[in-house]
Amino acid sequence: MENVLRVKGLSKYFGKRKILDKIDLEVKSGEIMGFIGPNGAGKTTAIKTILGFLSDDGGDIQICGYDVKKDYEKAMGMVGGIVENPDMYKQFSGTINLQMYARTHGNISQERIDEVVKMVGLENRINDKVKKYSLGMKQRLGLAIAILHNPRLLVLDEPTNGLDPNGIRELREILINLSHKTGIGVLISSHQLAEMENLCDRATIIANGRVICEKSLSELTDMLNGEPTFRLDAGAAPQRAIQVIRGFIESGLAEGETAPRVTCDAETGKVVFSAEPQIIPSIVRALVEAGVDVYAIQKEEYSLEEAFVAITGGGSQIA
């Protein structure tokens, strides 16, 4: 898949303060790239720099192979986007907003306008003035404007803001449909990490103006998951269960290997331990043989949010 966005070494200062520190970012055709980071990490600054709102202080931005500095108009012709809020001309109807934007691209037919209006589900209200729209409707209109000219790259900054659950689901369907069927590359930042998890193919995590990691969603969670963690319900004998499990695991350790921690969750009374999944049946047998009743055993998995907290060191709120 070709890169629709390639950012290399992008830097940006506000005065003496470094906001972006040589960040690299790539979005491929047909993929949805999540762009996540805590407040003040530099997500919106990066997006604004990519879209030409801010000048850069170093680095290269290429959109569909066009250098933004050299071929600005060609590069920007390939992009659609919403930055922060979906702001538009509130005194005009949705139709006029779409028509005005269409003019700046040229060669956009009324049929295409009708098509995107239908796609975002605004056909009943498109002739109302935008000032009468709810935030969700503005988001839909913003998306319609962003995709009106069939861009190759869609850049969305917090697009789920103000959307109700249905709206979020519809947006997800539209974006997945756009990226996977028409091959648009999508760069999306959002604080709805659960949504991102359902939506993104890959994610780039940014903190303090630097890209910390960039992986596919499964790679990201697997990276954290490593040796899986299990939770065991041993009824009233968690301490006995801990002894049995620790003994069993230690007996299988090679010389010099450190035994994994086996602990009791004080809140739930459950035993928490890490182990290779293939030795779980043996552990269960050992417990039963030792007279410990096993009520339940469950494998734990990390969410994107947990991955995010783990990677960014926690403490920061998710932007």
Partner 1 sequence: MHKFGSLYRNEITKTVRKPVYIVITALVLASMLLVGIIALGAKLLNSAGAFDYTPDRSVYVEQMEWNENDYRSILSSLESEMKAFEDTYGGDAFVKDGKFDAEAAIEDYRARLMDDLIWYADSLCQRAWYLESLKFKIADIDDEEAEKNPAGFIDETRENLAGARAYGRTKADLDKLLKDYPTVGKTVAEYPVFLYGERGKSTLAEAELLSKNIEKYEEILANEDFDLYIDLENETVKSDPALSESQKKIGVETNEILKKLYRPNMTSVEWNEVTSALSTLNTNKMLLDAGTDWEGNKLSPETVTKYRLQVEELTKGLEYGAPGYGGRQSVEEKVFVNLTLSAGMGVAQVLLVIMGALLVAEEFQSGSIKLLIIAPVRRIKIFSAKLLMLATMCAFEMLLVYFTLLFVCLFSGLGFSNMVFTFAGSAHVMNPFLYYFIYVLLGFVEVFAAGVFALMLSTMIRNAGGAISISMVLVYVLQSSVTSIFMLTIGFTGNYIFSNIYKVLPPANADLPSKLFGTSIQSDLDLNAILNGGFGLDINNGFAVSLLYVLAFGALCVWASYESFIKRDIK
Binding site for partner 1 (CB under 8 A): 48, 51-55, 72-77, 79-81, 83-85, 87-92, 96-97, 100-101, 103-106, 145
Count of C-beta atoms within a 10 Å radius of residue 18: 16
CB of 207 to partner 1, least distance (A): 21
Rounded Cα distance, 183 and 153, in Å? 9
Q: β-strand 32-36 against 185-189: which pairing, if any?
A: parallel
- DSSP H or E stretch at residue 196: helix 193-199
Radius of gyration of the chain (CA): 25
Closest to partner 1 by CB, 137 vs 241, is 137
CA distances for 39 relative to 45, 196, 205, 207, 235, angstroms: 11, 17, 12, 8, 43
For partner 1, the closer of residues 21 and 233 by Cβ is: 21
Question: Smallest distance from the beta carbon of 2 to partner 1, in angstroms?
Answer: 20
CB 120 to partner 1: min, Å: 16
CB of 87 to partner 1, least distance (A): 3
CB of 84 to partner 1, least distance (A): 8
* Cβ closest to partner 1, residue 112 vs residue 215: 112
In sequence order, the β-bridge partners of residue 318 are 38
* Residue number, 107 or 278, with CB nearest to partner 1: 107
Q: Alpha-carbon torsion 297, 198, 183, 205, what sign? A: negative
Instruction: Return the number of the residue (83 or 234) whose C-beta is nearest partner 1.
Output: 83
The 8-class DSSP code of residue 254 comes to P
